[in-house]
Structure 1
Amino acid sequence: MVMGWCLVAFVLTAYAQQAAVPTTYRLVQNVNYRPDSTDDYIRERCVLDVYYPEQTKDFPTVVWFHGGGITGGEKFIPQELKEKGIAVVAVNYRLSPKVKNPAYIDDAAAAIAWVFQHIGEYGGTADKIFATGHSAGGYLAAMVGLDKSWLRQYGVDADKLAGIIDFSGHAITHMTIRAEQGIKETQPIVDEYAPLFHVRGDAPPLVLVSGDRELELLGRYEESAYFYRMMKIAGHQHVYLYELDGFDHGAMAAPGFHILLHHVNELTKKSVK
């Protein structure tokens, strides 16, 4: 009987030690998601980083597009998303004025398509991919997720996205696209390059996060609120709107990551710390 208890104690101790082994994470940098191109600027800008948990399978993946008005910015892995049991794919894309619309939207679609095609090589799964980003990045995520034509050209159905999480992105046509046409930033336009133009009830779950309406850029909160309302009217059952009181356009991203992780958890039914 004593030996039996010793055996049980040994097994439990071994299990506890195994369970206590921390998850390790790996970062693979500057993977070209347009590898067949010979264009120097594409080869420079169309790269992504993959941050993922090793020895783990079927984890969710967040595709993160940086902000910068489509005229600047660099890919990065948000600190708030590290060591959370998920993969983060940080994407660079071509910038205006070196390229014009719709080159950067097409880059966003190509990057997401690359993730669908390759995340399984890192242990992830194609049914837990989220398109996300801040400001210009949120706009790109929403455009590619709502207008199915962008991913369709790469053989991917946008509705296979697990969700779209948009941090303070334009719902109207982006101001840089308007600037390329000589339209001032205070003149709102809703055309085929506006996520609002593509509202539909059968889109993936959509999470809209905005800073304080009095501190945000231009009418960014109001755009998000109208986007939310029109998605509801279109019959969308899983659209969410958050306003982060006291946070301006730049500062809202940090608390926004908690909202992102919550929805990744809920939409994949996976425990995310």
Structure 2
Amino acid sequence: MITAALTANALRPARGVRSGIPSFAAGWLTTELAPHLLTATAVDAAVSTARGRGSRLGYLLAGASAVGLAALVRESGRAQGLVAGALDADLGPDYLQALETPPSPADLATPWRRLVNPFRMREPRVKVIRGIAYGPAGRRNELDLYLPSEGPSTGAPVLLQVHGGAWTIGNKEQQGVPLMQHLAAKGWVCVAINYRLAPRDRFPAQIVDVKRAIAWIRENIADYGGDPEYLAITGGSAGGHLTALAALTPDDPTLQPGCEDADTTVQVAVPHYGVYDMAGASGLKTAIAMRDGFLARRVFPRSWEDDPEAYEAASPLLRITPDAPDFFVIHGTNDTLVSVEQARLFVERLRETSKRTVVFAELPGTQHAFDIFPSIRSAHVVRAIDRYLHWHWNTWRQQR
């Protein structure tokens, strides 16, 4: 019965300010671990039958769960075609010619063997250097480096990973690991940061720390084999917000006190299920509810009514200019924490204003935080980001 309820919620999650959080908590793991739950359901039904303990209701629920879980597995597999289609549509099918090696069928297939135990995220081709200080805030201003185990070549491309957690929780070890391991194994230098958290440190402390980390990368990453002139940035949820805001506010002195003269530009941004409307400027009820019910209480020092300019300055939706860098925006339609409407509006405005490329992958049936650990869906998304970033890196080098 529990599995049937979890499956039903994953297929049709509850929406709304109050119901969205528990619906996410119940549906996130169910959605991404659907193959494992489907196997467990089949085994449980077989064991019950062998022991003569099965009941008609139990078999009906197990059958309904199996059908629903199979639909979730099938939907996850569609991610491969969806992200590939988004890249083709927004970059043109010829973008693959910019890659050193076009993706093989094996590169595009689901890596079932690695998904048997998705929480065992080890990559022998990658080494991690932990706990490097980039600022004065102790552990909240530390970063980890993910490097090729044999050492990167000089001038390797660099990726900055910004964790999520509603600006109030989370750390650098918890998110973005599949992507960083994948890229580091291919020669990239990946940087994962902690930053100060609210409510102890209210906004804009979080974006100030991201800027400080970018300044550290510019000054120090060459010592680890990275190219200080090329920086990609990514992150999910609150990390997606900080990713987009950092990308859209290069060298803004109000957001980088203490390093006002540092170059904080990034060349490309890949936000996942980000918050783009902190001010509720879109008029979306979910954005306004987040602003007044959470951000004003836990993240910002003052309410929107008392300081609307602070919320507007923190909204990537309102910071887009023609000089915005290239973007690859990713969001799921079943996200009950941050509505996909925010991503749609953000992408629409980017495409209207920016002179650079904008790729948008909208993933049906996908919850928030789908990429925390390896799954069918996240594996395909990681590989698509790999192709996109290598296309971008190669194109950028040719245009220098």
TM range (shorter): 0.7 to 0.9
Match in the other structure for 2:318:
197
Q: 2:138 aligns with which of 31, 34, 43?
A: 43
Match in the other structure for 1:7:
none
Match in the other structure for 1:208:
329
Looking at structure 2, the residues matched to 147 and 75 of structure 1 have their Cα atoms a distance apart, in angstroms, of 23
Match in the other structure for 1:5:
none
Match in the other structure for 1:78:
177
> Structure 1 pair 177/259, CA: closer, same or farther in 2 (3 Å)?
farther
- SS of 1:60's partner is strand
- SS of 2:190's partner is strand
Q: Is 1:155 aligned with 2:261?
A: yes
> Structure 1 pair 227/50, CA: closer, same or farther in 2 (3 Å)?
same
Q: Deviations over 1:16-42 (max 9, x none)?
A: xxxxxxx954321111101xx3xxxx1
Q: Deviations over 1:163-190 (max 9, x none)?
A: 011011111118454334456xxxxx96
Q: Which amino acid aligns with 1:237?
A: R
The within-5 A match list for 1:45-64 is 45-53=140-148, 54-64=151-161
Q: Is 1:30 aligned with 2:131?
A: yes
1:80 deviates by: 3.6
Query: Between Structure 1 and Structure 2, whose CA radius of gyration is higher?
Result: 2
> Structure 1 pair 70/256, CA: closer, same or farther in 2 (3 Å)?
farther
CA contact (8 A) 2:320 2:354 kept: no
Match in the other structure for 1:98:
200
Q: Which amino acid aligns with 1:205?
A: D
Q: Deviations over 1:79-100 (max 9, x none)?
A: 2431232121010001111111
Match in the other structure for 2:337:
217
- SS of 2:156's partner is coil
Q: Deviations over 1:82-126 (max 9, x none)?
A: 123212101000111111111111011101111111110011102
1:252 deviates by: 4.7
- SS of 2:314's partner is coil
Q: 1:131 aligns with which of 233, 240, 243?
A: 233
CA contact (8 A) 1:63 1:132 kept: yes
Match in the other structure for 2:221:
119
> Structure 1 pair 235/44, CA: closer, same or farther in 2 (3 Å)?
closer
Looking at structure 2, the residues matched to 84 and 151 of structure 1 have their Cα atoms a distance apart, in angstroms, of 32
Q: Which amino acid aligns with 1:228?
A: V
TM-score, normalised with respect to structure 2: 0.54
Match in the other structure for 1:67:
164
> Structure 1 pair 165/74, CA: closer, same or farther in 2 (3 Å)?
same
CA contact (8 A) 1:27 1:49 kept: yes
Q: Which amino acid aligns with 2:275?
A: H
- SS of 2:384's partner is helix
Q: Deviations over 1:117-145 (max 9, x none)?
A: 11100111023211111111111111111
> Structure 1 pair 190/101, CA: closer, same or farther in 2 (3 Å)?
closer
Q: Which structure has more RCO (C-alpha within 8 Å, separation ≥ 6)? A: 2
Looking at structure 1, the residues matched to 371 and 125 of structure 2 have their Cα atoms a distance apart, in angstroms, of 29
TM-score, normalised with respect to structure 1: 0.78
Looking at structure 2, the residues matched to 61 and 226 of structure 1 have their Cα atoms a distance apart, in angstroms, of 29
Looking at structure 1, the residues matched to 381 and 165 of structure 2 have their Cα atoms a distance apart, in angstroms, of 17
Q: Which amino acid aligns with 2:388?
A: H
Structure showing the higher helix proportion among its residues: 2
Q: Which runs of 5+ in 1 are unaligned?
A: 1-22, 184-188
CA contact (8 A) 1:162 1:205 kept: yes
**CA-atom RMSD, angstroms?**
2.5
1:154 deviates by: 4.0
Q: Which amino acid aligns with 2:188?
A: I
Q: Is 1:263 aligned with 2:362?
A: no
Q: Which amino acid aligns with 2:273?
A: S
1:68 deviates by: 0.6
Q: Which amino acid aligns with 1:215?
A: D
Match in the other structure for 2:369:
250
Match in the other structure for 1:178:
296
Looking at structure 2, the residues matched to 229 and 46 of structure 1 have their Cα atoms a distance apart, in angstroms, of 34
